[in-house]
Structure 1
Amino acid sequence: MIVLGLTGSIGMGKSTTAAMFEAEGVPVHSADAAVHRLYAGRAAPLIEAAFPGTVIDGVVDRQALAGQVLGDADALKRLEAFVHPLVREEEAAFLDAARASGAPLAVLDIPLLYETGAEARCDKVAVVSAPADVQASRVLARPGMTAEKFAAIRRKQVPDAEKRARADYVIDTANGLEAARAAVVTIIRALSPAAG
């Protein structure tokens, strides 16, 4: 089974692209979705102990947590130290299940793939990208997003140009959904010829 890492900076259309792989029958593991599950489950008590006041009714309040960790490198490292291993456990179970099902290809949707060294766990990497002005307009249209928050998020992400240079595949999402879907299908055919 080939493991394809899927990544892209904020606002590039990665989640939409991951859904396109799923729609084509490729199993996809979303690190973000795993974090959401963990924040409502196993990780919540750990986070509350480390960052008091961030868990409400057993679920991590992401805004409260962001208030305690954004812009604080040490706090972010503490958070990642117990969240990342839990996400890796879920990822490993997903890959085991995908292999057992006979899938020729599986996708690991990891926002901070290069930033965390996760490309080492992938056979190939696809980066979802769009021009900077398109990215900014998408991100700043999100509820609660500010230019300051956007800048803080971008500072902890590998620059888009570097991601594109390091990737095996680049999926440009600025040209509409059909063009992105065509790129996804091309990648699936290249990596799992039986599907083509």
Structure 2
Amino acid sequence: MRFLELIGTIILKYALIFREGDGTMKRIGLTGGIASGKSTASAILRGWGACIIDADAIAHGLMEPQAPLYEAYRAHFGEGVILPDGQLNRRRIGQIAFADPAEKRWLDETAHPVIRRAIEQELERAEAAGEPAVILDIPLLFETGWQAHVDESWLIDVPEPLQLARLQSRNGYSREEATRRIAAQMPLSEKRRLADVIIDNSGTEQELMERLHVLWQKQPHQAAGSNSRKEETHI
């Protein structure tokens, strides 16, 4: 499991500070398995003007040099987690944390309040701006039960063999390593069962864009704010 997946778990564990508000802002949870194309889908939606709250981007920002988490991790783990360019070696921190439960616990306890404040600020900005809908780009949407706190969950879906091939190609992993990392996540079959909308990404980026466009065009300017479950949709 990647370091940002670990941070994503922390973010989502404390994301329940999302205020219900007056029900006018629709909440869409966007998720997918590793190498499914979720980040590509998020970028497409952002290009169309969607308001995106990106869990990974929040984590990245908090770990930039001089940011609170950067300084805390440097002090705790030492110079061995600092790359030559001054950035944190997130891969190394992830290795340390997953190898030692005490280190993972320290990481959780250190990151929780900082990330919570950052999420609060993003949600407040979206509400204050009068956004009719916000997309929560969350890698571990279902693993943390966060789908209960969005109006609709969208799963970027790929067949498992294609997911494996894409992960090997993208990250340069061996088949064994790619299989291990996929196995560390909730199976796609389970995510399909939980998703309100399943978006097929087994084809080209253009095909993904077309499927997303169909969905995005259906979004109302003002959401009803209902948290009732939707009938599962395949796109």
Does residue 106 of structure 2 align to residue 101 of structure 1?
no
Q: Name the TM-score, length of structure 1 as normaliser.
A: 0.85
Distance 1:152 1:83 in 2: 26
Matches within 5 A, 1:92-131: 92-131=120-159
Q: 1:146-196, CA deviations, whole angstroms, 9 ceiling, x for partnerless residues?
A: 34443343233111111111011111111222322222223223332569x
Q: Name the TM-score, length of structure 2 as normaliser.
A: 0.73
Segments of 5+ residues of structure 2 without an aligned counterpart are 1-24, 224-235
Distance 2:139 2:34 in 1: 8
Check conservation: 2:44, 2:209, Cα contact below 8 A: yes
Distance 2:48 2:182 in 1: 31
How many pairs align? 195
Does residue 201 of structure 2 align to residue 177 of structure 1?
no
Distance 2:177 2:116 in 1: 27
Distance 1:4 1:37 in 2: 23
> Match for residue 88 of structure 1?
116
Matches within 5 A, 1:59-78: 59-72=87-100, 74-78=102-106
> Match for residue 153 of structure 1?
181
Correspondence for 1:27 among 32, 51, 68:
51
Deviation at 1:110, TM superposition (A): 0.9
Deviation at 1:140, TM superposition (A): 0.5
Check conservation: 1:10, 1:135, Cα contact below 8 A: yes
Flag the structure with larger Rg. Answer: 2
Deviation at 1:31, TM superposition (A): 0.9
Instruction: Give RMSD over aligned pairs.
Output: 2.4
Alpha-carbon distance change, 149 to 92 in structure 1, aligned in 2, over 3 angstroms: farther
SS in 1 for 2:170: coil
Alpha-carbon distance change, 80 to 142 in structure 1, aligned in 2, over 3 angstroms: farther
Moved more, 95-104 or 79-88: 79-88
> Match for residue 79 of structure 1?
107
Aligned AA for 1:47?
Answer: Y
Distance 2:109 2:141 in 1: 16
Deviation at 1:28, TM superposition (A): 0.8
Does residue 15 of structure 2 align to residue 15 of structure 1?
no
Alpha-carbon distance change, 149 to 71 in structure 1, aligned in 2, over 3 angstroms: farther
Alpha-carbon distance change, 55 to 18 in structure 1, aligned in 2, over 3 angstroms: same
Distance 1:117 1:50 in 2: 31
Alpha-carbon distance change, 180 to 37 in structure 1, aligned in 2, over 3 angstroms: same
Segments of 5+ residues of structure 1 without an aligned counterpart are none
Q: 1:111-154, CA deviations, whole angstroms, 9 ceiling, x for partnerless residues?
A: 11222232233221111110111111111012453344433432
Correspondence for 1:39 among 63, 76, 81:
63
SS in 1 for 2:154: strand
Percent pairwise identity: 31
Distance 1:147 1:74 in 2: 30
